[in-house]
Amino acid sequence: MTETVASPCATHTETSAESRCCGEIALDIAEHACQVLQNTRVNAEYRHMIVATPAGAASAQPGQFFHLACPPGAAGTSFLRRPMSVYGADPVLRTVEFLYKVQGTGTQGLATMQPGDTLDALGPLGCGFQLPEGTRHVLLVARGAGLATLAPLAARAITLGARVTAVLSARSHAFVMSADRLREAGATVHIVTDEDGSSDPARLEAQLEALHAEAPFDFLSTCGSNRLLMLLQKLGKAWNVAGQTAIEQHMGCGIGSCYACVRPFREQADSDRLTFRRVCCEGPVFDLQETTSW
């Protein structure tokens, strides 16, 4: 079953209306009945789900997300959908992947799903990453679920001919995810953890400075940590390098109608004036320097 509804801001369908969030062609939002193909444990906290989708859903772009109707779990029933960033999308195989942390009512319900079950997924939604033309070297710095959001960006950048350096942060090596996936895509991977102190902001900053001196970055991206966001903002200003960040945010509707996901942003990179934007449709990807910490 696929049911389309009008979208005020989504970015990837076939209508003539202009998108208010990205300045691109706005697309109809589709609600898909997706078949679960895999839902396996990655470590003690995270699971990797693969679902079969219609072709349109599998064309999701890096940084976009789906709004999932989660089934009941041991903790009860979640009445609102859960936003889930795209970990991978294959329009040929018609599959979409999610990497998610099992922590609340919604994701506990997702964790119970078995191959053959049907997942109600609304999307793809939101505005994804926009790599500037001619980008040569992309820096990805991510932690936790942010790794899921940035993995497709790495694959896209490499496909376009850019070099990718990925710095993966985690509490310990047991919680490092996506390293092999990124290496197989062609990225250079560095791992930092809390347990050995290598993720300490001062040490990480020194490491990034050294990497930039060796092979300068011309695009920065991050997701999953306020600390990493502030560090990349500092380095981006010092290096005069632009970038984008994907924001994690609780949402109500996911399509820009309810305004439950509004957050403050700088009007411009160097501005002291704030404006308010909806993460679901004007994001979840935003300019690195316009994003405020939380």
Strand partners of residue 82:
68
Give the integer Cα–Cα distance in Å for 198 and 182: 20
Is position 9 annotated in a ligand binding site? no
Is 19 labelled as part of a ligand binding site?
no
- Cβ neighbors of 250 (< 8 A, separation 6 or more) are 83, 260, 261
- 10 Å CB burial of residue 140 (0-12, 13-18, 19+) is buried
- Decide: helix, strand or coil at residue 177: coil
What angle in degrees, to the nearest 10, is found between the helix axes of 226-239 and 201-214? 40
258 marked ligand binding residue? yes
State yes or no: 280 annotated in a binding site.
yes
CA distance 221 to 164: 11
CA angle 243, 247, 250 (to 5 degrees): 170
284 annotated as ligand-binding: no
Contacts 24+ apart (CB under 8 A), 23-30: 28/4, 29/4, 29/5, 29/122, 29/123, 29/125, 29/255, 30/2, 30/3, 30/4, 30/5, 30/54, 30/56, 30/57, 30/122, 30/123
Using DSSP's 3-state secondary structure scheme, residue 150 falls into helix
Rg of the chain on CA atoms, in Å: 18
Burial 79-96 (b: 16+ CB within 10 A, else e): ebbbbbbbbbbeeeebbb
Q: Is 82 annotated as a binding residue?
A: yes
281 known ligand binder: no
**118 is an annotated ligand-binding site residue:** no
Q: Which residues are annotated as a binding site for FAD?
A: 82-85, 106-107
Q: Which residues are annotated as a binding site?
A: 82-85, 106-107, 253, 258, 261, 280
Q: Which residues are annotated as a binding site for [2Fe-2S] cluster?
A: 253, 258, 261, 280
